[in-house]
Structure 1
Amino acid sequence: MTFFKKSGQFYGFKTCGHADSAPNGEDIVCAAVSILTQTMYFHALNQGVPESEIADEQHHGFLSIRIKNDHDIERLQPAFHFLEDGLKLLKENYSEYISLEDQEVS
Structure 2
Amino acid sequence: MIKIKFLKKNERIIYFEITGHANHGEYGEDIVCSAVSSVSQMTLNGLLEILKLDGRLQYEETEGYIVCDLDKSDLTDDEIEKSEILIQSMYSYLKAVKESYGKYVEIRVREV
For 1:89 and 1:17, locate their aligned partners in 2 and report how far apart those are by CA, in whole Å: 18
| Structure 1: tracts of 5 or more residues without a match | none
Q: Percentage identity across aligned positions?
A: 29
Task: Tell me what 1:94 maps to.
Answer: 101
Corresponding residue for residue 60 of structure 2: 57
State the distance in 2 between where 1:103 and 1:54 align.
21
Q: CA–CA distance in 1 between the matches of 2:104 and 2:66?
A: 17
The one-letter amino acid of 1:80's match is I
| Distance of 1:47 and 1:12 partners within structure 2 | 19
Match of 2:87 in 1: 80
TM superposition score normalised by structure 2:
0.84
d(CA) in 2 for partners of 1:104, 1:4: 6
- Where in structure 2 are there 5+ consecutive unaligned residues? none
Q: CA RMSD in A?
A: 1.5
* 8 Å Cα contact 1:10/1:73 also seen in 2: no
Aligned with 1:32 (options 10, 35, 41): 35
Match of 1:11 in 2: 14
Residue by residue, what CA displacement relative to the aligned partner does 1:30-59 show, whole Å, maximum 9, x if unpaired? 010000001001111233332122111111
Segments of 4+ moved more than 3 angstroms: none
Deviation at residue 20 of structure 1 after TM alignment: 0.6
Q: CA deviation at 1:70?
A: 4.7
